[in-house]
Chain A
Amino acid sequence: MTHNLNLWVIPLLPLAGAAINGLFGRHFKNAVVSFIALFFTALSFAWAVWAVWSAWPGGPIPLPHIESFGTWITAGSFSAPFGFYLDQLSMVMVLVVTGVGFLIHIYSVGYMAHEGGFYRFFAYLNLFMFFMLTLVLANNYLLMFVGWEGVGLASYLLIGFYFLRDSAADAGKKAFIVNRIGDFAFLIGMFLLIQHFGTLSYDHVFNALKDAQKFPVDAGWGFLTITAICLLIGATGKSAQIPLYVWLPDAMEGPTPVSALIHAATMVTAGVYMIARSHAIFNLAPNALHIVFVIGCVTALFAATMGIAQTDIKRVLAYSTVSQLGYMVLACGAAAYAAGIFHLMTHAFFKALLFLGSGSVIHAVGGEQDMRRMGGLRTKIPVTFWTMTIATFTISGFWPMAAFFSKDEILAAVYRSPYAGHLLWAIGVITAGLTAFYMFRLWFMTFFGELKLGAVDVGEEAHAAAAPAHASHASASHSHGHADDQSHGHGGVHESPWIMLAPLVILAALSIVGGWVGVPKFLGGHNEFDRFLAPVMEQSRTSIAEGAAALQNTEAPAAPPEEKSTTEWVLTGMSVLAAVLGLFFAWLLYYKRPDLPDRITAKIHGIYLTVLHKYYIDEGYNLLFVKPLLALSTLVFWRGIDQGIIDGLVNGAGSASKGIGNELRRMQSGNIRSYAAWVAAGGAAVIAYMIWLGVSK
Chain B
Amino acid sequence: MVPLSWYLILSAILFCLGVFGFLLKRNIITIFMSIELMLNAVNLTFVAFANYWSEHGLKLALSGHVFVFFVMVVAAAEAAVGLAIIIAVFRTRETLNVDRVNLLKL
Contact = CB atoms under 8 A, between A and B. Distances in A.
B104 A670 contact: yes
A676 B19 CA distance: 9
A673 interface: yes
Interface string B38-80: 0000000000000000000000000000000000000000000
A671 interface: yes
Interface string B80-106: 000000000000000000110111100
B23 A671 contact: no
Contacts of A671: 98-99, 102
A676 B103 contact: no
A677 B98 CA distance: 14
A676 B102 contact: no
A74 interface: no
Contacts of B98: 671-673
- Chain B: interface residue count, which band? 10 to 19
Interface string A652-676: 0000000000000000011111001
Contact of B23 (A669, A670, A677): A677
Nearest to A672: B98
A15 B99 CA distance: 80
A677 B20 CA distance: 10
B102 A670 contact: yes
**Most central of B19, B31, B99 by chain A CB within 10 Å:** B19
A670 B99 CA distance: 9
A676 B98 CA distance: 12
Contacts of B99: 671, 673
Contact of B102 (A669, A677, A680): A669
Contacts of A673: 22-23, 98-99
A672 B19 contact: no
Nearest to A669: B102
A668 B2 CA distance: 46
B104 A676 contact: no
Contacts of A676: 22-23
Contacts of B101: 672
Interface residues of A, number: 8
Nearest to B34: A676
A225 to B, nearest CB: 80
Contacts, number: 20
B16 to A, nearest CB: 10
Contacts of B19: 680
Nearest to A677: B23
A670 B103 CA distance: 6
B102 to A, nearest CB: 4
Interface string A665-697: 000011111001100100000000000000000
B101 to A, nearest CB: 7
Contacts of A677: 23
A676 B25 CA distance: 12
A677 B99 CA distance: 14
A670 B101 CA distance: 8
A669 B99 CA distance: 11
A680 B38 CA distance: 12
> Max chain B CB contacts within 10 Å: which of A669, A671, A673, A676?
A673
Contacts of B22: 673, 676
Contacts of A669: 102
Nearest to B24: A673
B32 to A, nearest CB: 12
B52 to A, nearest CB: 19
Interface in A341-377: none
Interface string B10-22: 0000000001001
User: Which residue among A671, A672, A680 has the maximum number of chain B CB atoms within 10 Å of its CB?
Assistant: A672
Contacts of A670: 102-104
A672 B85 CA distance: 15
A670 to B, nearest CB: 4
A310 B32 CA distance: 100
Contacts of B103: 670
Nearest to B19: A680
A179 B22 CA distance: 79
Interface string A138-177: 0000000000000000000000000000000000000000
Nearest to B104: A670
A313 to B, nearest CB: 84
Interface in A98-128: none
A499 B59 CA distance: 116
A672 B31 CA distance: 11
B54 to A, nearest CB: 25
Nearest to B98: A672
Contacts of A672: 31, 98, 101-102
A120 to B, nearest CB: 65
B18 to A, nearest CB: 11
Nearest to B25: A673
B86 to A, nearest CB: 13
A95 B99 CA distance: 95
Nearest to B20: A680
Nearest to B31: A672
A507 B103 CA distance: 92
A454 B94 CA distance: 100
A688 to B, nearest CB: 14
A161 to B, nearest CB: 68
A673 B98 CA distance: 8
Contacts of A680: 19, 23
A65 to B, nearest CB: 84
B14 to A, nearest CB: 15
Interface in A249-273: none
Interface string A586-597: 000000000000
Nearest to A680: B19
A281 B101 CA distance: 89
A462 B22 CA distance: 95
Nearest to B16: A680
Contacts of B23: 673, 676-677, 680
A672 B86 CA distance: 14
A635 B103 CA distance: 53
A207 to B, nearest CB: 83
B76 to A, nearest CB: 22
A131 B99 CA distance: 80
Given A671-B98, A680-B23, 8 more contacts: A669-B102, A670-B103, A671-B102, A672-B98, A672-B101, A673-B22, A676-B22, A676-B23
Q: Please list the 9 inter-chain residue pairs (A to B) with the smallest Cβ-Cβ separation, ordered nearest first.
A: A670-B102, A672-B98, A671-B102, A670-B104, A676-B23, A676-B22, A673-B23, A680-B19, A677-B23
20 contacts: A669-B102, A670-B102, A670-B103, A670-B104, A671-B98, A671-B99, A671-B102, A672-B31, A672-B98, A672-B101, A672-B102, A673-B22, A673-B23, A673-B98, A673-B99, A676-B22, A676-B23, A677-B23, A680-B19, A680-B23
